[in-house]
Structure 1
Amino acid sequence: MQDLTLPAARTERDQLAGRTDVLDKVGVLRTLPDDMNLTTPMVAEFYQIDADLVRYHVKSNRDEFDSDGYRVVVRAAFESEFGSLSNLDPKVRQVALFPRRAALRLGMLLRDSEVARRVRDMLLDVERADATVHFLIPKTLPEALRAYATEVEAHELTTARAEAAETSNRVLVSRIEKDAPLVAKAEAHTASITWIHRQDFAREVKQWGVGRGIVISHEHVYELLRRKKMMIAGDRSDRNQASSHAITAGWARNTKGTAENGHEYVTTRISPRGQDVAWKWITAHVEQFGTLAPQEVSA
């Protein structure tokens, strides 16, 4: 694969633009409440660069960003979709929106960003892993024996590396849980493997906060999940139940039941994947504000 930052690498960038999962593997991506779009300052924050550099690359490669869904909306349309931003300049009349694909494309274009370099390195690793391996059919018995020996050796090496990585990860998890106050289970790859009730999840987050001197209430957790559209908001009977977006994404589900007295109820449970996503939102919020108490959405 050629250098992704080169103008001639447009085809390669197009082919890799869908691997937005790489962004979450490299760092915590702060998004708007829909968990899909970012503003220019958010993109600049992720790549640790100046916002003007973001605008420069968009202007120089506008057709590429447009193909990823990049758009500029007037302030009224933005606030109608995402709400009012507390730190948005009153003079601003238009807001640029970057879907995750566009944010990833910027990482493939930036040269002077360590975060962008890590994004490209991971994309290269993904490309290598996805590459099709073509095997030659041995023509003689000695060739077949050599090929078999090579395959066995490669398998043993892969197994040894996997075991070493697992051991290393266990050590890392232990160290993170002890020493890094703002890293949660999802970041250390120790998330739950079972669906849990929303109250149990909130209780885990609350206990996590106690160990770090942070006062967290169930309502703090629910408000964040409502803002991120994992749970239903508003003054309505199904408040705090899993949203249709969360159900479609596989983050949560609602189960109806009937109590012995005939009263119908709904149980909301969060999936392992949903817990992983929620923990990332929680740690990012606490790292930025020092609390999980609701804050205004940043531009």
Structure 2
Amino acid sequence: MKDLNYFLKLGMSNPEILLEDGKLREEFLEKLRRRNEVLERVETILLLSSDEAAGIQRVASFYEVDKKVIEKIVSRHLEELVGDGYTNGIFTRRSILRIGMLLEDNEIANEVMVQLLNISRVD
């Protein structure tokens, strides 16, 4: 499956191809739409106030996973999440971010981590 970087490189090396190939152009536009959706979700997560809380279903929705995935993470990493403010099914901003760190192969969680690293980078 082609990723967004593939299309960007292709467009830079041969911009006409995206104009001429309708199927390729649609694939590219779909990748851009998905990237935008991911960034909007990341923004929502990163802009939560420090005193805002969310239930398990909302956290699952943030990361576009089934509620059972979050439940499994909570059961495996309860102590860690409690240390981040998780209590009785209520997630703090920090524990929501921790869930992202514990999710595997999740596009939104990966982008959250990239943005957090970008925010904390010191030049």
| TM-score (normalised: structure 2) | 0.58
How many residues align? The count is 80
Structure 1 residue corresponding to 2:94, chosen from 79, 101, 104: 101
- Higher strand residue share: 1
Counterpart for residue 29 of structure 2: none
Amino acid at match of 1:101: R
SS of residue paired to 1:38: strand
Q: Indicate the RMSD between aligned Cα atoms, in angstroms.
A: 2.2
Q: How does 1:59-138 map to 2 (within 5 A)?
A: 59-72=75-88, 96-129=89-122
Q: Which residue number corresponds to residue 47 of structure 1?
A: 63
Would the alpha carbon gap of residues 55 and 69 (structure 1) be closer, same or farther in structure 2, given more than 3 Å must change?
same
Structure 1 portions without partners, runs of 5+: 1-22, 30-34, 73-95, 134-299
**Structure 2: tracts of 5 or more residues without a match:** 1-38, 46-50
Identity across the alignment (%) = 36
Question: Could you say what secondary structure the match of 1:69 adopts?
Answer: coil
Tell me how far apart the structure 2 counterparts of residues 37 and 47 of structure 1 sit (CA, whole Å).
Answer: 15
What is the SS of the residue equivalent to 1:53?
Answer: helix
CA distance in 1, matches of 2:65, 2:41: 19
CA drift at 1:24? 8.0
Q: Which residue of 2 aligns with 1:57?
A: 73
More helix by share: 2
Contact 2:60/2:70, CA 8 A, preserved across alignment: yes
Is the contact between residue 41 and residue 108 of structure 2 (CA under 8 Å) also seen in structure 1?
Answer: no
